Amino acid sequence: MGEFQYVIKRSGAKVPFTPGRITNAIYRSAVAVGGRDRSMAEQLTLQVVAYLEKNLPAGHVSSVEEIQDAVEKILIENGHAKVAKAFILYRDERARMRRRREVQAIQHSNNIPWAKIWQILDWAASRDIHTIEKYNWRVKKGEICDIIRDSEIFYEEDIKIAAKMIGERRNMLRIVLISGPSSSGKTTTTIKLGKSLKQMGIKLVTLNVDNYFFDLEDHPKDEFGDYDFEAPQALDLELINEHLAKLINGKEVNIPYYDFKTGKRSADKTTMRLGKNEIILIDSLHGLYPAMTKDVEEQQKFKLYLEPLLQMKDDEGKYVRWTDIRLMRRMLRDAAYRSYDPEKTLTHWHYVRSSEMRNIIPNINRANYIINSAMPYELSIYQPKLIKHFSDWVKKYKGDSLREDAFERASRVYAFLKKIVAVEDDSIVPRDSVIREFIGGSSLQYH
Whether 445 is in a domain gets the answer no
In this structure, the answer to whether residues 195 and 46 fall within a common structural domain is no
Are residues 326 and 182 in contact, defined by beta-carbon separation less than 8 angstroms?
yes
Identify which of 201, 179, 181, 175 has the alpha carbon closest to the alpha carbon of residue 190. Answer: 179
**Confidence band of 5 (pLDDT split at 50, 70, 90):** confident
Q: What are phi and psi of 371, to 5 degrees?
A: -105, 130
Task: Give the per-residue pLDDT at 221.
Answer: 62
Give the DSSP H or E segment for 165: helix 144-168
**Above 70 in pLDDT, residue 26?**
yes
Whether 287 is in a domain gets the answer yes
Of 69-83, 114-128, 280-294, least confident by mean pLDDT is 69-83
Whether 308 is in a domain gets the answer yes
In this structure, the answer to whether residues 394 and 431 fall within a common structural domain is yes
Are residues 41 and 28 in contact, defined by beta-carbon separation less than 8 angstroms?
no
Q: Are strands 253-259 and 264-272 parallel, antiparallel or unpaired?
A: antiparallel
Percent of the chain with pLDDT over 90: 58
In this structure, the answer to whether residues 235 and 93 fall within a common structural domain is no
Give the DSSP H or E segment for 7: strand 6-8
- Overall pTM > 0.75: yes
Task: Give the per-residue pLDDT at 258.
Answer: 92
Report CA dihedral (185, 188, 191, 195) to the nearest 10 degrees: -110
CA 349, 355, 358, 359 torsion-angle sign: negative
> How many angstroms separate the CA atoms of 298 and 396, rounded?
49
Are residues 307 and 372 in contact, defined by beta-carbon separation less than 8 angstroms?
yes
Whether 444 is in a domain gets the answer no
In this structure, the answer to whether residues 366 and 422 fall within a common structural domain is yes
Task: Give the per-residue pLDDT at 407.
Answer: 96
Task: Give the per-residue pLDDT at 396.
Answer: 97
- Residue 169 burial (C-beta neighbours within 10 Å; 0-12, 13-18, 19+): middle
What's the domain count of the chain? 2
Task: Give the per-residue pLDDT at 130.
Answer: 95
In this structure, the answer to whether residues 249 and 300 fall within a common structural domain is yes
HSE on the CB side for 139, CA within 13 Å?
Answer: 21
In this structure, the answer to whether residues 271 and 150 fall within a common structural domain is yes
Identify which of 432, 346, 347, 348 has the alpha carbon closest to the alpha carbon of residue 386. Answer: 346
Task: Give the per-residue pLDDT at 3.
Answer: 60
Domain boundary (47, 70, 103) is at 103
Question: Which CATH number is 118's domain given?
Answer: 3.40.50.300
H helical segments located in 312-377: 322-338, 342-355
Beta-carbon count within 10 A of 58 CB: 9
**Above 90 in pLDDT, residue 137?**
yes
Task: Give the per-residue pLDDT at 11.
Answer: 62
Report CA dihedral (132, 134, 138, 140) to the nearest 10 degrees: 70
Whether 157 is in a domain gets the answer yes
**Above 90 in pLDDT, residue 108?**
no
How much of the chain is in helix, strand and coil states, percent to nearest 5? 55, 15, 35
In this structure, the answer to whether residues 159 and 308 fall within a common structural domain is yes
In this structure, the answer to whether residues 130 and 54 fall within a common structural domain is no
Whether 370 is in a domain gets the answer yes
In this structure, the answer to whether residues 23 and 158 fall within a common structural domain is no
Task: Kindly report, residue by residue over 358-402, the tens digit of the pLDDT.
Answer: 889 889 989 999 999 999 999 999 999 999 999 999 999 999 888
**Confidence band of 329 (pLDDT split at 50, 70, 90):** very high
CA 337, 338, 339, 340 torsion-angle sign: negative
> How many angstroms separate the CA atoms of 380 and 139, rounded?
9
Task: Kindly report, residue by residue over 420-430, the tens digit of the pLDDT.
Answer: 999 999 999 99
Q: Which residues pair with 319 in a beta bridge?
A: 313
**Confidence band of 324 (pLDDT split at 50, 70, 90):** very high
In this structure, the answer to whether residues 76 and 147 fall within a common structural domain is no
Task: Give the per-residue pLDDT at 2.
Answer: 47
Question: Which 3 state secondary structure label does DSSP give 257?
Answer: strand
Question: Which 3 state secondary structure label does DSSP give 204?
Answer: strand
> How many angstroms separate the CA atoms of 348 and 228, rounded?
9
Identify which of 327, 320, 322, 324 has the alpha carbon closest to the alpha carbon of residue 342. Answer: 327
> How many angstroms separate the CA atoms of 419 and 133, rounded?
8
> How many angstroms separate the CA atoms of 245 and 381, rounded?
44
Task: Give the per-residue pLDDT at 349.
Answer: 92
Kindly state the average pLDDT of the residues 231-250: 91
Residue 92 structural domain:
6-103
Beta-carbon count within 10 A of 446 CB: 11
Of 122-131, 258-267, 296-305, least confident by mean pLDDT is 258-267
Of 87-96, 127-136, 402-411, least confident by mean pLDDT is 87-96
In this structure, the answer to whether residues 59 and 194 fall within a common structural domain is no
In this structure, the answer to whether residues 190 and 268 fall within a common structural domain is yes
Task: Kindly report, residue by residue over 48-94, the tens digit of the pLDDT.
Answer: 888 888 887 777 777 778 888 888 888 888 888 787 777 777 666 66
Kindly state the average pLDDT of the residues 7-16: 72
Beta-carbon count within 10 A of 171 CB: 5
Domain boundary (103, 134, 151) is at 103
Domain boundary (103, 138, 165) is at 103
Task: Give the per-residue pLDDT at 446.
Answer: 79
HSE on the CB side for 82, CA within 13 Å?
Answer: 8
- Residue environment code for 133-155, b if the CB has 16+ CB neighbours within 10 A, otherwise e: ebbbebbeeebbeebbebbbebb
